[in-house]
Chain A
Amino acid sequence: MALLQISEPGQSPVPHQRRLAAGIDLGTTNSLIATVRSGSADTLPDEQGRHLLPSVVHFRKEGLPLVGEAAAAYLSTDPQNTIVSVKRLMGRGKDEFSGRGFRLPYHLVETNSAVPRIRTVAGEFSAVEISAEILRALRRRAEKTLDGRLDGVVITVPAYFDDAQRQATRDAARLAGLNVLRLLNEPTAAAVAYGLEHGAEGVYAVYDLGGGTFDISILRLSKGVFEVMATAGDTALGGDDMDHLVAEWIMQQAGIDPEAGHHQLRRLMAVARQAKERLTGADTALVKVELENGTQWEGELTRSELDRLLEPLIKKTLGPCRRALRDAGVSKEEIREVVMVGGSTRVPLVQERVGEFFGCTPLTSVDPDKVVAIGAALQADVLVGNKPDEEMLLLDVVPLSLGLETMGGLVEKVIPRNTPIPVARAQEFTTYKDGQTAMAIHVVQGERELVGDCRSLGRFQLRGIPPMVAGAARIRVTFQVDADGLLSVSAQEQTTGVQASIQVKPSYGLTDSEIEQMLKDSLAHAREDVAVRNLREQQVEADRVLEALEAAMAADGNTLLDDEERVAIDEAMRLLRVARQGDDAQAIKRALEELERRTQTFAARRMDASIKRALEGHSVDELKV
């Protein structure tokens, strides 16, 4: 029998080295990566000292794609192979690609997959693969700076992202070879970065206006717990739309044909953006545009003209603010501070209107571009295990109601919006025909009553229902949303206990086999060996499980296990250690599965013991009062 190390409670038995973790803000316009070093979090610059990585990918006939500034250089000369704002396309279907402001200049390809692809000179790519290129560039930057492999990352997403958009983000991370510790909502990350946990108590609002998305979140802070009370927003509203409005104004003023070519539109957008940014500090901005006939147009945009253009757009953000307050059950007066996040909150009129609405001066002391990445880095540092005594805990909610299609194309809500996650809710169904053995279930996300007005997440086929008379079967379908906000579904027939098998057909997501194929392609691309990577992944998992289990055994092995159970677990651990030394990924996987099987009861007992401890602590507290 192996010797067990006995440790003081709260101390890890194995003095492990610091793990490398990072926070990633995968933005519409710019992306950043941050990490905690010597106690403080900061974003990592590239070799030229630039922290922001433009979220632009340029595909070439030869060689690897370019990312960031290098790619942005091709924006006006080669727009069809230079992809911008790909975040807007994440988790979206072909029908949703068009009709958002300006036409997209890309060639979309018809495929069998639910996920549209963009045709470039280097091949056809989905939004997930393009985002993975951005993540790879950030990963390279971090691993070079930190001189080691990243053990885990936290990636931020807009709080208002639906299931398909979150899943797409996770898939992109997987393609980029990143171990995702958590998908974190951007406003929550910002709240963390503001160091609000240090002594701050009460209700806060986070107003996040980025390049392409808008989020408002209401959070309650209490003793290091960040509890999201409500969130609302618009996933298609941001700085890009401001630029469109300004570009339209320029076109009107300069008499440019609205059907102008891609190059012209791209250039106009850039000019519009510069003018908008200029007006953050100045009262007027000079606008110069090269016209297609070779002449130049010059005009002046004033602050008040810009304000007039942006007013309706900013007003559109206040509706969600009201709704979030109501869902949270708090009044404007209860909001202690409003934290501003996202580059677009630099626009003076935004700060003015938000300040008026909440009746307080918005907080802008942390760089609104960096604040999300910094918060994510702080959380990543905790999750990867570098701060075992950290009190910080982030509790998030489901941003949009999850429901099912019922008779007549109506939606039955199963999990309403702003329900805290993780959450599991069950719904019972029955059969409507004698002997019916299968059932189709359509899962949607959104607030509207008609299926057609909500977003389709997926269709599920339940099979293997035991044949009975109509209405006799009771099929319990359980929806589970994990801490990342990702949905899974399971089903069981209640009278017989038969577990129905579920086939998922994501409406706008990639299937597992598509991901596998992309993984293979991308690895071939990066000249990495699939087998080597697979082995490494299994070894990392084995180390993690062994370390966690050693700590658990040291803490509770004596009290919760009898000798026989202990010997069985020790033996399984020994076998895993042996497998871990070898180079057979499958053997490690099998040993891991065996160990998991043997520790099932132990893990469940530990959970029950913790509940008891939590309750005991409670009565002790009460005695003190």
Chain B
Amino acid sequence: MNYFQLFGLPETFELDLQRLSERYRELQRTFHPDKFAASSALERRLAMQRAAEINQAFHTLKDPVERATYLLSLRGVDNRNTAAKVDQAFLMEQMELRERLAELRSQPDPSTALEELIADITRRTNTVLQELTRQLEESSERSHTAAQESVAKLMFLRKITREANEIYDELLED
């Protein structure tokens, strides 16, 4: 039983997240170890394994990067070493974003500059997500290769978002 089947959802990248959460809670209501507090040690152990599987499945389907990677693996696409597939132009953009991040502190109003930068990264992320949705819908060999590239791009963008957020916290604490 794959994760989509476990949650009773269609095997697509676009997902009804509301339904996913509802199904998650229903499943945990049945299998969470707390529901087995009065059962034997063995049943408690089995329940814990099941609940952990459900959590893993939820985690995978909830997150777009994880979901895309999982969907690609279900379609037999090898996901290793996708970072190498990113094109030159995108890498240049990343360098540029990183430079902007590094120069923030010397800006007259670093907080506002950072907020703008984060908004910019979010826009770029949304664009890649839209491309990814299309690529996974098309589901051809060519589109799968493109989807892998999109996943790699999202990972880059996610990393820089995390770093930007950390700097934002530091700025607010000063």
Taking Cβ atoms with an 8 Å cutoff, the residues of A that contact B are: 152, 181-182, 222-223, 225, 227, 315, 318-319, 322-323, 326, 382-385, 391, 393-395, 419-425, 480, 482-483, 544-545, 547-549, 552, 596, 599-600, 603-604, 606-607, 610-611, 613-615, 617-619, 622
Does the CB pair B34–A394 fall under 8 Å? yes
Among B28, B34, B56, B173, the one with the most A-chain Cβ atoms within 10 Å of its Cβ is B34
Q: Which residues of A contact B21 (CB under 8 A)?
A: 222
Closest to A225 in B: B25
- A382–B59 alpha-carbon span in the complex (Å): 27
- A604–B42 alpha-carbon span in the complex (Å): 9
Closest to A421 in B: B55
CB distance from A560 to the nearest CB of B (A): 13
- A229–B128 alpha-carbon span in the complex (Å): 26
- A425–B60 alpha-carbon span in the complex (Å): 13
- Given B43, B46, B48, which contacts A482 in the complex, CB threshold below 8 Å? B48
- Given A152, A319, A544, A596, which contacts B42 in the complex, CB threshold below 8 Å? A596
- Given B40, B42, B49, which contacts A424 in the complex, CB threshold below 8 Å? B49
- A606–B52 alpha-carbon span in the complex (Å): 17
A393-B29, A395-B32 given. 4 additional CB < 8 A pairs?
A385-B38, A423-B52, A482-B48, A544-B38
Does the CB pair A619–B8 fall under 8 Å? yes
Q: Does B20 contact A (CB under 8 A)?
A: no
- A287–B118 alpha-carbon span in the complex (Å): 50
User: Which residues of B in the span 25-64 have a Cβ within 8 Å of any Cβ on A?
Assistant: 25-35, 37-43, 46-53, 55-56, 58-59
Q: Does B87 contact A (CB under 8 A)?
A: no
CB distance from A343 to the nearest CB of B (A): 26
CB distance from B36 to the nearest CB of A (A): 9
Does the CB pair B40–A182 fall under 8 Å? no
Please judge, given known A-B contacts A181-B37, A323-B169, whether A424 and B56 are in contact too, CB under 8 Å.
yes
Does the CB pair B32–A614 fall under 8 Å? no
Q: Which residues of A contact B56 (CB under 8 A)?
A: 423-425
Does the CB pair A600–B42 fall under 8 Å? yes
- Given A318, A425, A548, which contacts B43 in the complex, CB threshold below 8 Å? A548
- A391–B28 alpha-carbon span in the complex (Å): 11
Does the CB pair A603–B42 fall under 8 Å? yes
Does the CB pair B40–A545 fall under 8 Å? yes
Q: Does B158 contact A (CB under 8 A)?
A: no
Please judge, given known A-B contacts A182-B34, A222-B25, A393-B29, whether A607 and B46 are in contact too, CB under 8 Å.
yes
Q: List 22 A-B contacts (CB under 8 A).
A: A225-B25, A318-B172, A319-B173, A326-B165, A382-B34, A385-B37, A419-B59, A422-B33, A424-B52, A424-B53, A425-B56, A482-B48, A483-B34, A483-B48, A548-B38, A596-B42, A599-B40, A599-B42, A607-B31, A607-B47, A615-B8, A618-B23
Q: Which residues of A contact B58 (CB under 8 A)?
A: 420
Task: Identify whether the interface residues of A are mostly helix, strand, loop, or mixed.
Answer: helix
- A319–B31 alpha-carbon span in the complex (Å): 35
CB distance from B16 to the nearest CB of A (A): 12
- A614–B51 alpha-carbon span in the complex (Å): 13
- Given A420, A596, A606, which contacts B55 in the complex, CB threshold below 8 Å? A420
Please judge, given known A-B contacts A319-B173, A322-B172, A548-B38, whether A423 and B55 are in contact too, CB under 8 Å.
yes
CB distance from B174 to the nearest CB of A (A): 11
- A222–B30 alpha-carbon span in the complex (Å): 15
Pairs of residues from A and B, 7 with the lowest C-beta to C-beta distance, nearest first = A383-B37, A424-B52, A385-B38, A422-B52, A483-B33, A420-B55, A618-B8
Among A425, A482, A606, the one with the most B-chain Cβ atoms within 10 Å of its Cβ is A482
- Given B22, B37, B38, which contacts A547 in the complex, CB threshold below 8 Å? B38
Q: Which residues of A contact B26 (CB under 8 A)?
A: 614, 617-618
User: Which residues of B in the span 65-86 have a Cβ within 8 Å of any Cβ on A?
Assistant: none
Please judge, given known A-B contacts A603-B46, A618-B8, whether A596 and B30 are in contact too, CB under 8 Å.
no
Q: Which residues of B contact A619 (CB under 8 A)?
A: 8
- A393–B54 alpha-carbon span in the complex (Å): 15
Please judge, given known A-B contacts A182-B37, A384-B37, A603-B43, whether A614 and B30 are in contact too, CB under 8 Å.
yes
CB distance from A327 to the nearest CB of B (A): 10
Q: Which residues of A contact B27 (CB under 8 A)?
A: 614
- A326–B164 alpha-carbon span in the complex (Å): 12
Does the CB pair B55–A603 fall under 8 Å? no
Closest to B46 in A: A607
- A424–B33 alpha-carbon span in the complex (Å): 14
- Given A225, A545, A548, which contacts B29 in the complex, CB threshold below 8 Å? A225
Q: Which residues of A contact B53 (CB under 8 A)?
A: 424
- A483–B48 alpha-carbon span in the complex (Å): 8
- A423–B172 alpha-carbon span in the complex (Å): 33
Q: Which residues of B contact A424 (CB under 8 A)?
A: 49, 52-53, 56
Does the CB pair B32–A483 fall under 8 Å? yes
Please judge, given known A-B contacts A394-B34, A395-B28, A614-B27, whether A596 and B8 are in contact too, CB under 8 Å.
no
- A547–B55 alpha-carbon span in the complex (Å): 29
- A519–B51 alpha-carbon span in the complex (Å): 33
- A383–B30 alpha-carbon span in the complex (Å): 14
Q: Which residues of A contact B173 (CB under 8 A)?
A: 315, 319
